[in-house]
Amino acid sequence: MRLNTAERDEIVRQRVETQLTRRITAPGLEEILYDRMPVLDYGFVRVIDYMGNDAAIVQAARVSYGRGTKRASEDQGLIKYLMRHRHTTPFEMCEIKYHVKLPIFVARQWIRHRTANVNEYSARYSIIDNEFYIPAPEHLAAQATANRQGRGDVLEGEAAQRVLDLLREDAEHAYASYIELLNEDTSGAPIDPARPGLARELARMNLSLNFYTQLYWKIDLHNLMHFLSLRADPHAQYEIRAYAEVILDILKRWVPMTYAAFLEYRMNAATISATGLTVIRRMLAGETVTQQNSGLSAREWRELTALLARPA
């Protein structure tokens, strides 16, 4: 992840400045506030601001004044209860704002989560940096045959190298054309004063989806956990999962009690249908259950048996 002098100075300035506050704070999050956590080759996530912590969730649930006199173990028990029974409103009382740098195609997935406030870097007003995402060799895979949304076997040898060469050559060519269309260097000065440049809002359209964009993303804790339950899942696309895993670590720093309950009841748990639950009860009663007499579809049966680690 490359940082220019202005970006480094901004981080240093933000991290040196301190503010007196009566607000609830999260010590673990304060340690990394404003700092950049690298993701992929040129991407990052950093926390810009936040509101609330575990105590704020408990306070909202009890509708009490101040921090109360309850013990930490009781607070943990209440947060577990809220998570277990899907009482989501207390979690909505906490919010966090991120600054994220990510490839455009990842941003297009990200924006599908419409329960956040988003402001994206505008290529109508600014010149996009010459930074584009190239997958690491271990993440360069063929299309999966069984899952049209996923990846199959990793490409190797000449096939992998050809893909990497094409990705890099196309991005470099696209950026060179972009600069030619703009007729501007990165400072905004004309390259050829004798000819006009194309408007920035038009010149950007030839850039490929692996170029990086930036956005500010503000979301409440309840919806953040929904985002993570989908994007930190092993089935999620690797690139957005890489960001989700960094954000999951931030969650641990911000609200450690909620993080533990989230892993226990959401990330590492499973949802079973009513029919699936009936199948499990029949199995526990000693009945031989097959897909044919289970009432489940073939896909549902495969998912249930995989969950129970039982041969299909």
Catalytic residues: 231
How many whole angstroms separate alpha carbon 169 and alpha carbon 174?
8
Instruction: Give the integer Cα–Cα distance in Å for 222 and 178.
Output: 40
How far apart, in whole angstroms, are the C-alpha atoms of residue 73 and residue 75? 5
Q: Is the dihedral of CA 256, 88, 39, 101 positive or negative?
A: negative
Backbone angles phi, psi at 120, to 5 degrees: -100, 150
Distance between CA 67 and CA 55 in Å, rounded? 7
Most distant CA atoms of the chain, gap in Å: 86
Beta bridge partners of 37: 45
**Residue whose tokens read 């890489």:** 242
For tokens 């905004």, the residue is 188
Q: Render 134-148 in DSSP notation, one character per residue.
A: ---GGG-EEEPSS-T
Q: Within 13 Å and on the Cβ side, how many CA atoms surround 88?
A: 9
Beta-carbon contacts of 93 under 8 Å, excluding residues fewer than 6 positions away, are 52, 56, 57, 60, 220, 221
Cα(124)–Cα(191) distance, integer angstroms = 19
